[in-house]
Amino acid sequence: MVLKDMWTLSSLRDVLCEFMGTALFLFAGLGSVVPWHGTPNPAADSAAAPPTVSPPDPLRVGLAFGSSLVLVSVCLGSASSSGVHLNPAVTLAMVAGLRVTPWRAILYVGAQLLGALCASALLLGLVPTPLKGQVGLNELAPGVCSYQAFLMEMAITFLLVLCVIVTTRPKSPLQLLGPAIIGLSVTLGHLISMGLTGCGMNPARSFGPAVMAMDFHNHWVYWAGPCTGSLLAGLLHDLLLHPRWSCPGDWLAELREVFLKGSRKHPSNLERAGE
């Protein structure tokens, strides 16, 4: 039953949507981080002097990530039986809430990471040599401790995943506005945290540039923070805001059914999601 669920045409199409969606979303978002137009250095006499590089504008980057997420979600969300996640942290929350089987989630996350690698590699090949640097690499700002970065990444991802779950809940009055609301949460996350952590909010977004630069310093922050935030958002929604189980035993019984039998159905457009 599990293998049959993993290798259906519907499942393979969903995995393809995750790969394509993540690649397109991150190519557009990471492209906004690259300082395409460096300003000349007035102190340099040589015309061949390298351009000065200014920090990316948080508003521009936030709008790029948010708007690209909205467009990809609208275009590919209807093609997938469960909508597109585009983010391992979102997929983790969906698994914990028993909205997606663990087996499909493994394929989704693998497709997301592969899409992030492809987007980062393509962008690296297009950037002019003087501006290559570490394209899109998340780094902590000077003076920011790893635990502070962890808490910031947890907080902004908590907001994102809560928006995802609330807007994609069955019979939610916000379903039609879901992509826009989720995109706004991504933009807000960049405005809040870009000056501190570079705004990961999505392990795949941090993973692709880290592999291209072969720089994994403090990389654990961009996995642990978003994953913790996503689980907390899922718990808050499913246990307090809109309780789905009367006791832990009900959750365990449903988990056993989903895990062993792979019988979780995937209603259309219940999980469109996020950066």
The whole-angstrom distance between residue 172's C-alpha and the CA centroid of its chain comes to 22
- CA 253, CA 251: separation in Å to the nearest integer? 5
- CA 90, CA 234: separation in Å to the nearest integer? 9
Read off the pLDDT of each residue in 36-59 and give the average, rounded to a whole number: 59
Q: Where are the domains of the chain?
A: 2-34+55-261
- CA 166, CA 234: separation in Å to the nearest integer? 10
* pLDDT at res. 171: 77
Q: Is the pLDDT of residue 1 over 80?
A: no
Q: Is the pLDDT of residue 8 over 70?
A: yes
Span 108-158, pLDDT tens digits: 999 999 999 999 999 988 877 655 566 788 999 999 999 999 999 999 999
* pLDDT at res. 201: 95
* pLDDT at res. 270: 38
- Of 11-15, 179-183, 192-196, the one with minimum mean pLDDT is 11-15
Region for 132 from its dihedrals, namely left if φ exceeds 0, alpha if ψ lies in -120 to 50, beta otherwise: alpha
Give the contacts of 104 (CB within 8 A, at least 6 positions apart): 5, 6, 11, 14, 82, 266
More confident residue, 179 or 52: 179
**Tokens standing for 231?**
């689980």
Name the 3-class secondary structure at 100.
Answer: coil
The whole-angstrom distance between residue 63's C-alpha and the CA centroid of its chain comes to 15
* pLDDT at res. 12: 85
Burial class (CB in 10 A: 0-12, 13-18, 19+), 139: middle
User: pTM value?
Assistant: 0.85
8 Å CB contact between 242 and 58: no
8 Å CB contact between 53 and 175: no
* pLDDT at res. 260: 62
Rg over alpha carbons for the chain, rounded to the nearest Å, is 19
* pLDDT at res. 275: 52
- CA 97, CA 234: separation in Å to the nearest integer? 7
Q: Is the pLDDT of residue 170 over 90?
A: no
Read off the pLDDT of each residue in 217-240 and give the average, rounded to a whole number: 93
pLDDT grade for 269, boundaries at 50, 70 and 90: very low
Domain 2-34+55-261 annotated CATH 3.40.50.2300: no
Span 204-221, pLDDT tens digits: 999 999 999 898 999 999
- CA 194, CA 80: separation in Å to the nearest integer? 31
Name the 3-class secondary structure at 108.
Answer: helix
Q: CA 40 → CA 34, 49, 126, 129, 167, distances in Å?
A: 16, 8, 21, 16, 46
Read off the pLDDT of each residue in 232-261 and give the average, rounded to a whole number: 78
Read off the pLDDT of each residue in 156-176 and give the average, rounded to a whole number: 87
Read off the pLDDT of each residue in 35-45 and give the average, rounded to a whole number: 52
- CA 124, CA 135: separation in Å to the nearest integer? 7
* pLDDT at res. 4: 58
